Amino acid sequence: MSDPVSSIRNLGPAYEQACAKAGIRSAQQLRDIGPDEAYTRLLQTGSRPHFIGYYVLVMGLQGRPWNDCKGDEKKALRQRFDAIKAGVNAAPETQMMSDLDAIGVRVTTDDLKPK
């Protein structure tokens, strides 16, 4: 049997549960896909974006304590986190409403009021 996600430094049972929901079932699978892909999957399956959660993952995969991230390294990780967050698609219903707005065919409550 392979090592659980929680065997990685800094990652506990809650992180392991979130990973399982995202289809990441082992520490090795997490290492193989890397922190950016893993965090993308977490967001796509409903985890709320949180910068500390992201850099805890990055530090853990490097075998470092979570609070070892400082200065320029932390700034660079913040940029990666922001890019991941921006790249994750909105929920399908939200995306559909945005698409309808973009082409001007969405009905609003004002459209339904008698004139």
Structure tokens at 108: 């609003």
Spans of all domains in the chain:
5-89
pLDDT band for 13, please (50, 70, 90 cuts). very high
Is residue 99 scored above 80 in pLDDT? Answer: no
In this prediction the pTM is 0.75
> How many whole angstroms separate alpha carbon 50 and alpha carbon 55?
9
Whether the pLDDT of residue 14 is over 70: the answer is: yes
3-state secondary structure of 27: helix
Residue 93: its pLDDT value, please? 53
Task: State the Rg of the chain over Cα.
Answer: 19
Which CATH code fits 5-89? 1.10.150.20
Residue 95 has pLDDT above 90, yes or no: no
Q: Rounded distance, CA 21 to CA 98, Å?
A: 27
Per-residue pLDDT tens digits for 29-68 = 999 999 999 999 999 988 999 999 999 999 999 999 999 9
